[in-house]
Amino acid sequence: MSTLFAPIELGTLTLPNRIVIAPMCQYSAQDGNATSWHLMHLGQLALSGAGMLIIEATAVEAEGRISAQDLGLWSDENEQALASTLAQVRRHSAMPIAVQLAHAGRKASTVPPWLGGQLRPSGEGGWRTWAPSALPFTPGNEAPQALDAAGLVRIRQAFAAAAARAARIGIDAIEVHGAHGYLLHQFLSPLSNRRDDAYGGSLENRMRFPLEVFEAVRAAFPAGRPVGIRVSATDWVEDGWDIEQTLAFAAALKVRGCDFLDVSTGGLSPQQKISLSPGYQVPFAERLKRDVGMPTIAVGLITEARHAESIVASGQADMVALARGILYDPRWPWHAAAELGAQVDAPPQYWRCQPRELKALFRDARIS
């Protein structure tokens, strides 16, 4: 029996297996609205046989977008567009669908990566960004505006409002984005948070706003539907955010009803030094799972089925998430199930493609 293909419960939600499709920005929205690209993108991934699909970083306010082409959930139009897309996808897939709610902070107002990904200044078609402190991500960039008390309230309420919208359109789970150098991570790290009020300085103070945001999202989303968070377990920079601080943050989240941790690293500083290798972030997920006792998702250069199986079978993490790997191979879960002797959900329109020796590979995924 493959552990990777065993079900797992998050709150009242049961995932059919431990393969998660990570949120991946598509830079293809219009004024925050999902487009035909999102229907194609999410539709194919929803037929992949994975256990859960997490929709890309979805901005809770317009100024919180990474780029002007980011998906959003701050307006009625955003909500209606995403609801329409999901309705089409769900006609053919019962896969649980989550959304990652996000605010980019000082890393907002950029151009899409295929155009260079650089900051677009407010005088050149971009906008002034927000952050805990007026420190730019890269020296020489336009400095962000430091959030005042009213700004903190506005963004906290924006997260809660987006969570309520997600609930109305039937989203199964929420992942709060607290990683990769975006706003909540900026509050956590002493490298980007130089405030001298109740939201800066000590670890307790730096955790305060991210915890307030999590509480607001949890309160706005139906009880039982899981709410988790993505964290960067380290900045990979000396004197920055690290695993020990992440452990304290995770313990505080657990008390507040957090259902899972999606464990990544880095993204806060261009000074980061990372040595890449398959599964290089897995030890952080393992430490958090062991010491905090919360379900964890491991990510980062996990591309082989047996590697993924070993991660969950050995207890290093409860789930694994795929990003670029599943874009390259949208049927990765099918191939992993074939290699590991497991079964995977698939629509009947595709049953005839099973190789002759794998006639038991597919389960009926028809919507009842």
Residues classed as catalytic:
182
Sequence-ordered list of residues with C-beta below 8 angstroms from that of 218, at least 6 positions apart, any chain: 227, 256, 257, 258
Q: How many residues does the chain have?
A: 368
Angle at which helix 243-255 crosses helix 203-220, to 10 degrees, equals 40
Q: Where are the beta strands (DSSP E) in the chain?
A: 8-10, 13-15, 19-21, 52-59, 97-102, 130-131, 145-146, 173-178, 227-232, 261-264, 296-298, 319-322, 344-346, 362-364
CB atoms under 10 Å from CB of 294, counted, come to 18
d(CA 345, CA 109): 39
Tell me the one-letter amino acid at 120: R
Angle at which helix 282-292 crosses helix 243-255, to 10 degrees, equals 50
Sequence-ordered list of residues with C-beta below 8 angstroms from that of 359, at least 6 positions apart, any chain: none
